[in-house]
Amino acid sequence: MTVLRLYPPPQRKMPLHGLYLALRLHRRSQAGGLLIYANYIASLDGRISLPDAHGEQGVPATLANKRDWRLYQELAAQSDIMLTSARYFRQLARGKAQDLLPVGREKEYADLAAWRLDEGLQAQPDVAILSRSLDIPQAALEAVGDRKVLVLTGRDADVRDIERLTLPGVRVLQNEQFELDGAGIRSMLAAEGYRSAYMIAGPEVHRTLLCGGLDLLFLTQRHRLLGGNDFSSIMQGQLESSVDMELQSLYLDEQALLHERGGQCFACYAVMPGV
């Protein structure tokens, strides 16, 4: 399975497996620093999720595909900790979550599990839940009891909610500011010793991280129009100012043209510092 590298030049074919693993993101942060990266798959008209028959937002089957999912798993394999939202854990409690926070345990991802161990990483990344409300079902937290779980919230979080969530293996960290912000999230996680963090939450968390937090954005763009008025995109809500992104790499998934009508592209962007 190969892809065609379009940028940076020269163009050449490269194997799909290992494409993102070769970035070694877990080793790219400066001493005492933290690299935060995010990943989305979007349609050509910007949809990352649509409501299902029950009104639950999720990645539609017409968008998801195994080739993109392989790269999703490779990004997960390089993370010390995965950043998600309380909404994800509420979905998990209802059996509506897309997955149980990879690295996947299926046979096809056994190479990634072995790679983590070879790199001195623990079997699974830890989990950080970003939440203002602290509305997180305890049953869902128990589903990730095999790893450390951090809950990141604002300075004025209710003490009773904090005490309710302080379970074995779960710690609640409060930002210095009333609201969670990218700089605060980065500071709290770096202080815990993490060096690579993979954000897999929705556009609200993405917007929060863009303010002083996010370093890299990985974006798969499926060459398909989905339509629909009730949808999520990679960015919703107001930004204090526009955020410039610098293209780092772009690959055309040629073989997807043979198996998936329209094909897709894999891109990576670096978040440029504000001016």
CATH 3.30.70.270 for the 2-271 domain, yes or no: no
Neighbour-count burial for 202-221, b at 16+ CB within 10 Å, e otherwise: bbbbbbbbbbbbbbbbbbbb
Of 50, 8, 1, which Cα lies nearest the Cα of 230? 50
pLDDT in tens, 148-189: 999 999 988 888 888 888 777 789 999 988 888 889 999 999
Which residue shows structure tokens 């029950």?
54
Are the beta carbons of 217 and 37 closer than 8 angstroms?
yes
Q: Which amino acid is at 1?
A: M
How high is the pLDDT of residue 44? 95
The span from the CA of 169 to the CA of 141, in Å, is 9
Three-state SS letters, the chain: CEEEEEECCCCEEEECCCCCHHHCHHHCCCCCCCEEEEEEEEECCCCCEEECCCCCEECCCCCCCHHHHHHHHHHHHCCCEEEEEHHHHHHHHCCCCCCCCCCCCCHHHHHHHHHHHHCCCCCCCEEEEECCCCCCCHHHHHCCCCCCEEEEECCCCCHHHHHHHCCCCEEEEECCCCCCCHHHHHHHHHHCCCCEEEECCCHHHHHHHHCCCCCEEEEEEECCCCCCCCCECCCCCCCCCCCCEEEEEEEECHHHHHHCCCCEEEEEEEECCCC
Q: What is the pLDDT of residue 75?
A: 97
Q: What is the largest CA-CA distance in the chain?
A: 58
pLDDT of residue 97: 63
AA letter at 170: V
- At 144 the pLDDT is 81
pLDDT < 70 regions, the chain? 31, 95-101, 256-260, 274-275
Question: For residue 137, what pLDDT is reported?
Answer: 84
Share of the chain above pLDDT 70, in %: 95
Q: Please tell me the pTM assigned to this model.
A: 0.92
The CA-atom distances, in angstroms, between 191 and each of 184, 188, 260 are: 11, 5, 44
Please choose, from the candidates 271, 262, 261, 251, the residue with its C-alpha nearest in 3D space to the C-alpha of residue 18.
251
Question: So what's the pLDDT on residue 100?
Answer: 59
pLDDT at 229: 87
Distance, in Å, from the CA atom of 241 to the CA atom of 274, rounded to the nearest integer, reads 9
